Amino acid sequence: MSKAPTKEMKKRLYVWIFCIGFGILTILDLVNITKYALVNNEEFQAMANDSQFGSTTVEANRGSIYDANGQIFAQSATVYSIIVDPYKLSQLDNIVTNPETGKTEYQRQLDTAAEILTDELDITAEDVKNAFAKTEYQWSLVRKDVEKPVADRILKRANASDLAYNLIYTDTDTKRYYPQGSLAAAVIGFTNFEGDGAYGVEAYYNDYLKGVNGKIISATDGKGQEMPYKNDKIYDAQDGSDVYLTIDRTLQHYAEKHLEQAVNDNNAQNRGCAIIMNVNTGAILAMASTPGFDLNDRNSIYAQKDIDLLAGITDEEEYNAQYAALREQQWKNKAITELYFPGSVFKVVTGAAALEEGAVTLNSTFHCSQVIQVADTPIHCWARYSHGSQDFTTAMTNSCNPAFIQIGQALGSNAFSKYFEAFGLTEPTGIDLPGEADSIYVHAENMGPVELASCSFGQSNKITPIQMITAYAAAINGGNLVTPHVVSKIVDPNGNVVMTADTSVKRQVISEETSAKMRQVLEDVVNNKGGSNAYIKGYAIGGKSGTSEKIDKYNETGIENLYVSSYCGFAPADDPEIIMLVMIDEPSALDQNGSLMYYGSVVACPVVSNTFKEALPYLGYYPEYTDEELEALGVTVPNVVTYTVSSAEATLEKLGLECEIIGDGTSVTAQIPEQKSTMRHGGKVILYTEKEFEYDVVTVPNIKGMTLSEVNTTLTNAGLNFKTGDGAASHAGSVAYTQNYAEGAVVQRGTIVEVTFIIKDEG
């Protein structure tokens, strides 16, 4: 690291009020002489301009913020203020007259200054004239935040002209830039007007980033009068250190892209958040709140519903209050500052605790008859049917509430509370970001049978998403509770590492043996019954969905159907490296039948699977397909163009594909789908045999909500082929969720439509 020698002089507006009298010229001459004498020393020149008396702060340069791969997320740069000296110009009045033009020297210099400044800055000659109007000042600001090349050109032109010395001069200031814009904005945070961190990493690590300001102290004489410049003492500024995040820009981008999609698709009324963490170290690889904001334009409001809300307010005072509240809300890091009922994702904690205590085993059976009586209270399963008799893994797959109430009962309220604390849910995780919220939970002494029941399936205790993912990580990483963190190290301007993240294990919560069981159970949850929505061909994924009702908000407002939909998945399932939690707050979109889509498996799970699909290859994990998956991947269509019709037919037949011949030619002139496309076994290739022909076209039907066999029939009847994307195609209860060609699109007959399937239930 080079140590920049810049000594930022705190800019001060010095108002010179002189008595009209004999001494005035003498003082000004002294000032000017000083300036001339120190012309080559920028630092002293600035001081001569700014502060003849007392001590002057020399600002330290603020350190930069980098991601895990050295990409810049925040940096400071010097910007320039363009300043003119009206007093100096005023002294020129009528001193010299240009005989050729008849202008006074005053007018000639004003014109020259105006020519330079209007050329280089977006201002008028009138603006320049106004800047020179207050003739008692030596400092009049023309423009601030000017970039260096422009400031340099202005000074160069001023020096090349015969303007009075320093009639135009510059002062420096510092501006904070966020080159990644909105990416990870709630984590990075920003600085306030004073240049101190106000939010996020900028605030939490402010002491490291800001450095130590220096000082120039002027000596004083026997009467306490300062003696400028003669005996100054200079304390150099110590520049701030650079902060390196654990955040990986690429993973952050993947997470934000898919989170934003889900927040929009589900019309989330209270934002959404996502966290990707290394399960073994607690390093946060991505953390997002959506809608977010651009760090370079953080005062704007970004969520459309907030913009609409503000547009409807006419009272100015009310508008300003609402604007401030909404802006504050959009700046908040949802993953750490807000509490929620984790719902069924919490069953991972209950299950791990019960297995560890020996209260249940993987072979224990639990019965669901749709409703279970707890003390005097009937508690329903989320399903509108009974799950019947289930072992532990099936109960987790079904996400059966009565089963987990029985698991909670087997554990008991004391043991439940002991593990709740051990998993770190009674205290903040200690993540290195400001504003982490404290959980609200039922204490053991207040936990009756009904409370224990609802606690067991995650509907009574309110925790933060960062607490949930950290507890879940402990359940599957060998039992170790780690400290989540966003900064890996801090490096001072001399290149010394002055802080490294503590990645040590806080405590072991469950045994490696129990943790291994949980990994297997959660992998089975994803793979069971033909694959869940988290299933990705070629990868071993573990995961659990959650859907919680915002009972407290309902009690407060009477608004029904407010849910938090979440999903927490990890990979690779047998030896996990990453874990991702996604939470969508108050989804409000309806499906094709007009029903609210709110299950975590439907709303939040696609964010995890779509992100993993990109993140795992990026992290060096490549898919390994089973025979079944290879079968499902389909057939790669070969090229049969120029083949004779009979050899084309034979080639396709051997691959399990049908064909349809169009025209009377003897050889193939075109084929749809084209070579190298993949499609389902049994699909049909359209072969054209004439030299002159027009492609048949068909209209894509809507297949959303259909089962696999309905999709097959509908698309085949429409003259189309299809293939299935990742997700739950062969699951008994799955339905088509997305199609890559929209309903009504006109495409060539034989085109392959890619369809993804989703299971529309909590499991």
Residues found near Zn ion in the complex (CB under 5 A): 368, 381, 387, 400
CB of 184 to Zn ion, least distance (A): 39
The tokens for 548 are 């919680």
Residues counted in the chain: 763
The tokens for 115 are 């020519």
Residue position matching structure tokens 């009075």 = 164
CB of 394 to Zn ion, least distance (A): 10
Strand runs (DSSP E) across 477-577, as ranges?
A: 480-481, 487-491, 497-500, 507-508, 542-549, 563-571
Q: Specify whether the CB–CB gap between 402 and 347 falls below 8 A.
A: no
Of 380 and 553, nearer to Zn ion (C-beta) is 380
Of 204 and 346, nearer to Zn ion (C-beta) is 346
Which one-letter amino acid corresponds to residue 577?
E
Question: What's 101's DSSP letter?
Answer: T
CB of 462 to Zn ion, least distance (A): 24
- Cα–Cα distance measured from residue 635 to residue 489, given in angstroms and rounded to the nearest whole number: 49
Q: Is 691 exposed, middle or buried (0-12, 13-18, 19+ CB in 10 A)?
A: exposed
- Cα–Cα distance measured from residue 556 to residue 562, given in angstroms and rounded to the nearest whole number: 12
CB of 344 to Zn ion, least distance (A): 11
Of 60 and 368, nearer to Zn ion (C-beta) is 368
Q: Specify whether the CB–CB gap between 510 and 475 falls below 8 A.
A: yes
CB of 387 to Zn ion, least distance (A): 4
Of 397 and 611, nearer to Zn ion (C-beta) is 397
Of 28 and 383, nearer to Zn ion (C-beta) is 383
Residue position matching structure tokens 């992290």 = 619
- Contacts of residue 729, Cβ cutoff 8 Å, sequence gap at least 6: 530, 531, 632, 708, 755, 756, 757
Q: The dihedral of CA 446, 448, 451, 454: what is its sign?
A: positive
- Cα–Cα distance measured from residue 755 to residue 741, given in angstroms and rounded to the nearest whole number: 9
Alpha-carbon distances of 707 from 397, 555, 714, 727, 733, rounded to whole Å? 21, 38, 10, 13, 8
Of 201 and 381, nearer to Zn ion (C-beta) is 381
CB of 402 to Zn ion, least distance (A): 5
Of 388 and 428, nearer to Zn ion (C-beta) is 388
Cα-Cα-Cα-Cα torsion 112, 114, 115, 120, nearest 10 degrees, comes to: 130
Of 400 and 540, nearer to Zn ion (C-beta) is 400
Q: The dihedral of CA 228, 229, 235, 240: what is its sign?
A: positive
Q: Is 694 exposed, middle or buried (0-12, 13-18, 19+ CB in 10 A)?
A: exposed
Upstream peptide bond of 701 is cis (omega within 30 degrees of 0) = no
CB of 208 to Zn ion, least distance (A): 51
- Cα–Cα distance measured from residue 480 to residue 625, given in angstroms and rounded to the nearest whole number: 31
Of 118 and 386, nearer to Zn ion (C-beta) is 386
Of 195 and 600, nearer to Zn ion (C-beta) is 600
Comparing CA positions, the residue from 138, 132, 131, 133 lying closest to residue 51 is: 138
Of 353 and 400, nearer to Zn ion (C-beta) is 400
CB of 460 to Zn ion, least distance (A): 18
Q: Specify whether the CB–CB gap between 700 and 717 falls below 8 A.
A: no
Of 343 and 683, nearer to Zn ion (C-beta) is 343
